[in-house]
Structure 1
Amino acid sequence: MRNISVRHDVPYYSQWESADLVPDLLSGRTKAEDDPSWRTSGADTAEEYAFWSWRVCGMACLRMALEHWDLKPPNLLTLAREFLDAGAYVRREDGVDGLIYAPFAEYAAQRWDIEAEVHGTLAIEEIPGHLEDGRLVMLSVHPSIREPDGTPPGRGGHLVLAVGCTPDHLLIHNPSGLPGVSQRFAEVPWQALPRFFAQRGVTLGLSGR
């Protein structure tokens, strides 16, 4: 791993409006439709919010990047609807397929004039260079990365935003991270990352930089 230390001052967004409720939401003690802040998501109903809140980790990552670049991001459900129309999500009767990277990257670049590049294969060793060059990296990881000491049953299935690194750790903003533990600038040891990382993702950067 390259001897790089960089940290981008990126604001944090959870995929739920009440980030402090994440432990209760994950455990089932609280239902997403009971999130008292659901209206700020842009959802028309609490049920619509509950459906999408489990599926918009990619939208939360994009919101963080857009806010970082002062591009005034829409709220979560507005983004989800836009990307649904763009083909980055496919709604099924019992769920959603996505985030589908190619239409996501194409629409994000068109909509905000940012550079969005899909990496069907992304080596861990490449991530520090992207961060050093000013890009942010959406990574496909197993959602249990919120507790990186564990052993996940697989890789991928959840998106986090890489916002920095040190020679020892990757720093991520995790839309479903635990408050005070693994939401903001969460440290994931490089040696632990391969257990969670599916070696694919999307790099985001400002055009012309």
Structure 2
Amino acid sequence: MSPPPETVPFFSQWETSDMTMEVLAEGAEVALRRDPLWQNSGAETPDEYAVWAANICGMACLKMILATRGEIVPTIELARRCTAYGGYVVTQGSIKGLIYAPFVSFVRETFGLQAEVMTNVATSDIPAILARSRFFIASVSSWIRWPEREPPSKGGHLVLVTAASDKGLRFHNPSGHTSATQENAVLAAVDFDRFFANRGIAVAI
């Protein structure tokens, strides 16, 4: 697997990136109210931050993509703007999303990014996707932070794949719990496949 052509900045979906284990133990809406950096997210209150941060892995991936070209946009600011396109549906504190098709329209019209929803993607297809597009936002189980475990299901979480070959995939995980599972995590293709839901979004910059 060749190195990426440029460094891709990492951002967690929490402003304090080492809070994952607290979130898992106590729940996001309890743990994240204690995040001392919550205001950096663009949220107006700790409560708003706690609700959004648990659902914002896709915006963390977008933040990393934009940061690659020098733009830093707070995650919840991105989420609000994406919601206006239908990328999230918010009802009484419940958040549904990321919804892929509106996200594609959002990033194209707002940031000039070329994006494509992709389904029925085999793990072995990802190197070819990255040969055409700079990034692949992959739907995986959040259990990908524990590659030695068998996930209960596939999908439900998003990671940013930055490089891939037949031998393995390199990705940033917005909810990784250690440095090794957050930034430039690497899994063999056969292991990535155990978590991958065979869908995602290819993004070119």
> Normalized against structure 1, the TM-score is what?
0.91
Aligned to 2:37: 37
SS in 1 for 2:204: strand
Q: Is 1:158 matched with 2:157? A: yes
How many residue pairs get aligned? The number is: 202
CA distance in 2, matches of 1:47, 1:36: 13
Structure 1: 5+ residue stretches without partners: none
Q: Determine if contact 1:13/1:175 at 8 Å carries over to the other structure.
A: yes
Q: Is 1:27 matched with 2:34? A: no
SS in 2 for 1:7: coil
CA distance in 2, matches of 1:94, 1:35: 19
Greater per-residue helix proportion? 2
Q: CA deviation at 1:96?
A: 1.2
1:1-209 matches, cutoff 5 A: 5-8=2-5, 9-28=7-26, 31-70=31-70, 72-206=71-205
CA distance in 2, matches of 1:48, 1:170: 34
> Normalized against structure 2, the TM-score is what?
0.93
Q: CA deviation at 1:179?
A: 2.4
Equivalent residue letter for 1:13: F
Q: Determine if contact 1:5/1:167 at 8 Å carries over to the other structure.
A: no
Equivalent residue letter for 2:175: S
CA distance in 1, matches of 2:109, 2:73: 15
Q: Determine if contact 2:162/2:172 at 8 Å carries over to the other structure.
A: yes
Equivalent residue letter for 2:176: G
Q: CA deviation at 1:25?
A: 2.1
CA distance in 2, matches of 1:80, 1:179: 25
Alignment root-mean-square deviation, CA: 1.6
Q: CA deviation at 1:132?
A: 3.1
Equivalent residue letter for 2:46: A
Structure 2: 5+ residue stretches without partners: none
Q: Deviations over 1:169-199 (max 9, x none)?
A: 2111000002222000101111112211110
SS in 2 for 1:44: coil
CA distance in 2, matches of 1:124, 1:27: 31
SS in 1 for 2:60: helix
CA distance in 1, matches of 2:72, 2:200: 21
CA distance in 1, matches of 2:96, 2:18: 27
